[in-house]
Structure formats: C-alpha cells, structure tokens
C-alpha cells in the first residue's frame, strides 16, 4: 500500500517548496515594504490557484472514469507523457533559476504594486498555479501506477507538501538556512529517475490503449521467477517503476530518457562554474581535478543504479516464488500435505488421490467463505489453485461427486495483510430473490399485455400517431424485463427479434414483433398493413404471459443477468444497431438500466453480505449513467444515438462500460457453491 509513497513525497516536497518560496518572497517583500494591507490580495491569488489545481485533479479522475478500459489506458498514457514533459522542464528551469528566484519575484511584485490589486492577485495566482497544476498532473499520473493501492500515494504527496510548507515558513522566519541550488540539484536527480519510470508506465498504457505497437513484445520477463505481488517487487515498482514484465519500447523509453536527460542535466551543472572567473589560484586545480571524471560517468550511473538496486532487493529477498506445495484431494485424505503457507499470492498443486471427481475449496472454516476453488478435479489428475493468503484461518474442503463434503484440519497464517474471501451461496438462498423477481416480471407482463392491446386498438382505428406513442410505451416495458429473457425462450425472438440474419431483411416473414412494427410506423406503412403484425404481437405477448409462471427459471441466471442486460445495451442500443426508424434507442437503454436496477435491488441483501463496497461503487455508476441518459431526454422526445454529439456519446458509452466493469464481479460473488 505504501510502496508508491516516495515518488509522490518527492514531487510534493519539491513543487511545494518551489511554490512556497514564491509565496514567501511575495509576503516578505510586501511586509518589509510596509504594504501589509496588500497581503489579502496575495492570499486571494494563492487560494484561487489551489482551487484550480484541486479542480484539475478532480477533472482528470472524473474524465478517466467515464471512458472504456482501452480509452482509459490511452488517456492515462498521454497524460503520463505530458506530465514527464512538464516535470523535465521544471527540473531544468529550477536548476537554472534557483539562485535568482528572489530577485525576479521582487521585481514582479514591485511592478504589480504600481498596477493595483488585480495585478498582485494575478501575480500570486500565476506563480502558484503553475506549480499547482504540475503537481496535480504528476501526482495523478504517478498514482495510477499504484492501481488502487489506497491512501499511500496521496499521503506521500500530502506529506511532501506539508514539509515544504514548514521549510518555507522557516526560511521566511530566517530560522532555517538551505542551499537551494544544491537542494534542487539533488532532488532533480531523484525526479529524473521517477519521471523515467512514469514515462515507461505511460508507454505501457499507450500500448495497452493500442496507440503504440509492441504490447506483447517483452524485453524483460522475469514473472516466472519473481512474484509480482511480493513486497519487494511492489517496492521496486512503486519507487522505480521497474516491473516483472517490460516491453522493448518501455525499456528503450526508460533508458533513453535517463541517459539523455541526465547527460543534459549534468552538462548544465558543469558549464555553470566554468563561466565564472577563478577567485583563487586553487580554482584551476579544482577545475582540472573535476575534468578528470569522464562526462559519461553520472548518466551511466543513473541508468545503472535503478536496475542494480532492483536486482539487489530481489536477490536479498529470495527472488523466486516458493515451490507450489502438493495437497491431496479425496474423501479420506482431503488436505493431506497442507501446511501453513506464507502470506501473499500462493499456488497450491491439488492432486486427486480418490476414485471420484471432486470439487475443491480453500475456505475460512469459521464462516465457510471461499478463497479459491477448483471444479471437477478428475481422479488421478493434478491442477493448480492460485489464491491470495493473508492473516487468518484456512482449511481445505473436498466435495466428491455423490459424496459428503470433507474438511481438512485448520492452519493459521499470521504476519500478512487481509485476504478477501467470498461467502458461499446455495440455490436455496437465491430462492427469495428469484420469487421477488418473478413477481416483478409477472406484473410487467400484465402491464405489457394491456399496453399491447392499446397499440392494436390504435392501428385498428387508423391512428398512426397514437400508435407510435403506444408502441414506445409497450416496448420500453418489455425492455425493462431483461433478466428474464433466457426464460422467455422462443417468445423473445417473436416479440423482440431483429432482422439480422434473416434472408429477406425487414420484409422477411420471420421478422415480427416490436421492431417490425417500428419499421412500419416510421417508414410510411399504413395502419391496415401493420394491424396483422400487431395482432400477432398481441397473441405472442398473451402466450408468454400464460406460459411464464410454469417456465423454468434457474436461480443462477439472476447474478449472470446483472451485467448481461447492459452488455446487450452497449452492443445493440448504443450503436444504433436495433433502430428501425423511431430513434428511441436511448429510451430502450434507459429501460434496460431500470431493469438492471430492479434486479440489483432483489440481489442487494446477498451482495451486501459479501461486498458492500462494490454496491456503493455500482450505485454511483448507475446514478452517473442515469444522469447522462436524462440529459438526452426532453419530455417525450429522446435524442437518436446517431445525433448525439461526440463528447455526449463517448460519455454514455464510457459510463456504460464502467458500470459493466463494476458489475462483472457480481456473478462470482453470487456463484452457487457446494462448500456451504
């Protein structure tokens, strides 16, 4: 969790000190010039700059959440490259200007004082805002490498900023003396290494976002020998951004950046003293001694040190993964050979020594929660089970086909973090949710039959305008019943089938139901032509209503449908694929979202017991997507998908994709297991 703190601490300290020095000089200049009454103008500019920086960070976070996975990778990669460019410029600018910073700021303050309050506010705003925006961008991009590791990265940046504030206060009060040139020089070397890592990470993101080639061409791949989840691998990745797998392009970018930027940085440091005249006779000797060190020494050292440091840490920690232990599986020897494992990601070799196929579970014996499982391990076969082990109690449970469950002895693991098991679920626990959902579908089908009858009456009366309105009402009711599609069987193809794959397209006799009537209503077909289609739809809806109570509904289908409804929405409705002229695909997407929300409501008690935090994320995603859909809705009119502007369409697609990602764990959380 904390391995990514140091890079953010360093950027927070350095950028915070840079901005703090500017503010300190501004305040000192005003105080010593008897202009204390102008201080509120300085603080107003500072507050505005801080607000802008925080808003910028929020925009980065919110924008990335609205994108699909590939787009998020590309977005993050581009911002990483931009952040590296900004930090590189900042490193060189501060090295060059650290000595003259105070004089430059005093001149700007003097000019601002003659121009009034606005100029002073703008001066402080620009002075602090630049550093604030750079800090927000670099902290955000660098924190992405932590992949949700919690508060560590943010805390590192915050500690650096707080420390920088304290140092600036000490400098202002003249109780501290810091050689700023030396400070910015040494922190510059550190930031060069960190920026190289962020650049490598950004290149990898761009490859995963398919903006750069070579995503599968690895120059470095030690994943078979080094556990990427171990503390030492996480430490090396957090500080140096060196991972167990790095592509050719990543390595080239990393090494090239270190070599080029360090060479230029060191060259600038050497040229500085050379331009000044010697103060004493000893100076030439010193210069001669300095020239004896080859210019390539420092760049090579900066390139080599991170790799050497990573190797030393890994070598000192054992490096290779622990050999997988073999555990016996059978009705008599379940768990034989199982000893207390080390904390972390572990691989167990499960060997079935019995005569029957068996389900195998690694469980918490107190709660029966499952850490890992293998289904259908055949007699005489061996398979690997990979699970994350933390502090707590562990046991194996073997369930032979047709036999009774057998649980091994319990072992205790200490010294690790927490691992998150999944509570087992039986079919009987899903029955109340299934009964509640069946009642919802029953009521929906009753409503659908009434609405379809109204559509038929409209066409009988020749009222095409009313038919269009009542068609949409009935179709949205059907679309909100998405979780039951699998149970509707052949009725779904008759009621809501598409023309795709039919030889005759829209004129094919097999194209019936809502979409066929939609085509006719919005393509000038007469009421008399559409009336037989409406009669057939009414017959199919009535048949479904009668058949549904007796149709089988597998309880395990409910968790699966929690994300499948919106998968179809993303594939068909949001692409406009199913539109037959009404332009109502967003209305259908809205009905699908309502159906998903209804399904989650009946599953909510079961999910809450297993992952309440997941529900919090899902609810936020649903609210965000609902807001985006509402923005495309004006009264009874919906914006057709193809008429959405590009940003609005991207936001809706991104919001749907993000919701799908967060719904994906639900089927696993609510998978029916035999280990309960």
- Do 31 and 154 lie in one domain? The reply is yes
| pLDDT given for residue 676 in this prediction | 43
674 lies in some domain: no
| pLDDT given for residue 284 in this prediction | 42
Q: Read off the pLDDT of residues 435-490 as tens digits, 9 standing for 90 and up.
A: 999 999 999 999 999 999 999 999 999 999 999 999 999 999 999 987 666 677 78
Q: Read off the pLDDT of residues 398-446 as tens digits, 9 standing for 90 and up.
A: 988 888 889 998 888 876 666 777 777 878 888 999 999 999 999 999 9
Q: Read off the pLDDT of residues 198-244 as tens digits, 9 standing for 90 and up.
A: 788 778 778 766 788 876 677 876 655 665 555 566 566 655 667 77
The number of residues in the chain equals 676
Give the closest residue to 333 by CA, choosing from 407, 280, 272.
407
Do β-strands 245-247 and 218-221 pair in parallel, antiparallel, or remain unpaired?
antiparallel
Of 255, 287, 316, the domain-final residue: 316
- Do 437 and 392 lie in one domain? The reply is no
CA dihedral 621, 626, 627, 630 (to 10 degrees): 170
418 lies in some domain: no
* pLDDT above 60: residue 357: yes
Lowest mean pLDDT among 77-86, 259-268, 382-391: 77-86
Q: What is the DSSP string of 122-167?
A: HHHHHHHHHHHHHHHHHHHHHHHTTSS-TTHHHHHHHHHHHHHHHH
Do β-strands 325-329 and 344-352 pair in parallel, antiparallel, or remain unpaired?
parallel
Q: What percent of the chain has pLDDT over 70?
A: 63
- Do 394 and 436 lie in one domain? The reply is no
Of 390, 413, 436, the domain-final residue: 413
- The model's pTM is 0.49
CA 456 to chain centre: 48
- Do 436 and 577 lie in one domain? The reply is yes
Contacts of 335 (CB under 8 A, 6+ apart): 327, 328, 395, 396, 398, 407, 408, 409
139 lies in some domain: yes
| pLDDT given for residue 528 in this prediction | 95
Question: Percent helix, strand, coil in the chain (nearest 5)?
Answer: 65, 10, 25
Q: What percent of the chain has pLDDT over 90?
A: 25
Cβ pair 381, 352 in contact under 8 A: yes
Average pLDDT along the chain: 76
* pLDDT above 60: residue 293: no
| pLDDT given for residue 39 in this prediction | 74
- Do 356 and 249 lie in one domain? The reply is no
154 lies in some domain: yes
Q: Read off the pLDDT of residues 557-584 as tens digits, 9 standing for 90 and up.
A: 888 888 888 888 988 899 988 999 999 9
* pLDDT above 60: residue 295: no
296 lies in some domain: yes
676 lies in some domain: no
Side-chain-side CA neighbours of 135 within 13 Å: the count stands at: 33
- Do 116 and 218 lie in one domain? The reply is yes
* pLDDT above 90: residue 49: no
- Give the number of domains in the chain: 3
* pLDDT above 50: residue 99: yes
Does residue 288 or residue 657 have the better pLDDT?
657
Q: Read off the pLDDT of residues 598-621 as tens digits, 9 standing for 90 and up.
A: 999 999 999 998 888 889 999 999
- Do 205 and 57 lie in one domain? The reply is yes
Give the closest residue to 39 by CA, choosing from 27, 25, 51.
27
Of 413, 437, 471, the domain-final residue: 413
Cα separations in angstroms, 36 against 7, 69, 170, 173, 174: 37, 52, 20, 16, 19
80 — pLDDT class (breaks 50, 70, 90) = low
Q: Read off the pLDDT of residues 237-287 as tens digits, 9 standing for 90 and up.
A: 655 667 777 888 888 888 898 888 888 888 766 544 444 444 433 344 333
Residue ranges making up the domain that contains 552: 427-669
Does residue 13 or residue 391 have the better pLDDT?
391
- Do 525 and 508 lie in one domain? The reply is yes
Task: DSSP letter for 366, please.
Answer: T
Q: What is the CATH number of the domain that holds 389?
A: 2.60.40.420
- Do 308 and 354 lie in one domain? The reply is no
Average pLDDT (146-157) is 55
What's the rounded Cα separation, in Å, for the pair 595 and 622?
12
| pLDDT given for residue 143 in this prediction | 57
What's the rounded Cα separation, in Å, for the pair 676 and 673?
7
Average pLDDT (77-103) is 66
| pLDDT given for residue 235 in this prediction | 60
- Do 243 and 390 lie in one domain? The reply is no
Cα separations in angstroms, 67 against 222, 648, 653: 32, 12, 7
354 lies in some domain: yes
Does residue 552 or residue 104 have the better pLDDT?
552
Q: What is the CATH number of the domain that holds 584?
A: 1.20.1420.20
| pLDDT given for residue 246 in this prediction | 81
Average pLDDT (1-7) is 52
CA dihedral 534, 535, 536, 539 (to 10 degrees): 120
- Do 248 and 349 lie in one domain? The reply is no
- Do 305 and 227 lie in one domain? The reply is yes
Give the closest residue to 187 by CA, choosing from 396, 384, 7.
7
| pLDDT given for residue 511 in this prediction | 92
420 lies in some domain: no
Phi, psi dihedrals of residue 405, rounded to the nearest 5°:
-70, 140
């Amino acid at each position: 969790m904390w391995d990514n703190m140091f890079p953010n601490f360093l950027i927070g300290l350095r950028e915070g000190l840079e901005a703090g020095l500017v503010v300190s000089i501004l305040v000192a200049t005003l105080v010593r010039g008897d202009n204390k009454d102008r201080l509120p103008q300085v603080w107003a500019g500072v507050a505005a700059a801080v607000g802008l920086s925080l808003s910028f960070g929020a925009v980065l976070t919110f924008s990335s959440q609205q994108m699909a996975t590939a787009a998020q990778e590309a977005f993050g990669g581009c911002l990483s490259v931009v952040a590296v460019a900004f930090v590189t410029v900042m490193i060189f600018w501060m090295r060059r200007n650290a000595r003259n910073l105070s004089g430059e700021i005093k001149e700007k303050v003097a000019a601002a004082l003659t121009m009034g309050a606005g100029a002073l506010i703008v001066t402080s705003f620009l002075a602090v805002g630049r550093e604030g925006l750079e800090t927000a961008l670099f902290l955000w991009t660098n924190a992405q490498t932590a992949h949700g590791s919690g508060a560590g990265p943010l805390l590192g940046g915050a500690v650096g900023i707080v420390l920088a504030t304290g140092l600036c206060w000490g400098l202002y009060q003249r109780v501290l003396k810091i050689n700023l040139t030396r400070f910015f020089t040494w922190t510059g070397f550190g930031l060069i290494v960190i920026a190289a890592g962020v650049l490598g990470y950004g290149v990898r993101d761009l490859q995963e976002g398919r903006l750069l080639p070579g995503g599968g061409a690895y120059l470095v791949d030690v994943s078979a020998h080094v556990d990427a989840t171990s503390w030492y691998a996480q430490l090396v990745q957090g500080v140096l951004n060196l991972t167990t797998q790095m592509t050719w392009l990543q390595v080239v970018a990393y090494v090239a950046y270190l070599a080029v930027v360090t060479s230029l940085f060191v060259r600038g440091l050497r040229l500085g003293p050379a331009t000044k005249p010697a103060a004493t006779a000893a100076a030439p000797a010193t210069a001669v001694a300095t020239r004896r060190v080859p210019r390539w020494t420092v760049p090579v050292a900066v390139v080599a040190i991170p790799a050497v440091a990573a190797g030393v840490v890994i070598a000192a920690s054992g490096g290779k993964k622990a050999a997988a232990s073999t555990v016996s599986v059978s009705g008599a020897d379940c768990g034989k050979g199982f000893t207390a494992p080390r904390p972390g990601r572990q691989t167990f070799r499960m060997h079935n020594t019995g005569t029957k196929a068996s389900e195998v579970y690694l469980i918490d014996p107190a709660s029966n929660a499952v850490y890992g499982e293998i289904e259908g391990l055949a007699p005489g076969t061996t398979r690997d089970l990979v699970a994350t082990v933390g502090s707590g109690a562990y046991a194996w449970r073997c369930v032979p086909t047709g036999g009774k469950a057998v649980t091994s002895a319990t072992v205790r693991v200490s010294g690790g973090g927490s691992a998150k098991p999944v509570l087992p679920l039986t079919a009987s626990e899903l029955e109340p949710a299934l009964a509640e959902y069946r009642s919802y579908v029953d009521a929906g089908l009753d409503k659908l039959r009434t609405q379809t009858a109204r559509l038929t009456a409209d066409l009988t009366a020749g009222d095409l305008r009313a038919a269009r309105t009542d068609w949409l009402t009935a179709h949205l009711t059907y679309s909100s019943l998405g979780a039951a599609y699998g149970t509707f069987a052949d009725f779904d193809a008759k009621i809501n089938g598409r023309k795709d794959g039919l030889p005759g397209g829209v004129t094919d006799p097999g194209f019936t139901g809502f979409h066929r009537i939609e085509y006719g209503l919005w393509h000038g077909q007469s009421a008399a032509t559409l009336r037989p289609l409406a009669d057939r739809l009414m017959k199919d809806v009535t048949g479904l209503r009668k058949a549904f109570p007796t149709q089988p509904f597998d309880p395990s289908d409910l968790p699966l449908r929690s994300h499948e409804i919106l998968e179809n929405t993303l594939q068909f409705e949001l692409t406009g694929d199913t539109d037959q002229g009404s332009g109502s695909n967003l209305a259908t997407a809205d009905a699908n979202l309502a159906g998903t929300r209804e399904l989650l409501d009946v599953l909510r008690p079961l999910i809450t017991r297993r992952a309440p935090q997941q529900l919090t994320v899902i609810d936020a995603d649903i609210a965000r997507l609902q807001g985006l859909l509402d923005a495309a809705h004006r009264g009874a009119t919906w914006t057709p998908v193809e008429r959405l502007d590009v940003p609005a369409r991207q936001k809706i697609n991104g919001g749907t994709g993000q919701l799908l990602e967060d719904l994906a764990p639900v089927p696993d959380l609510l998978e029916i297991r035999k280990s309960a």
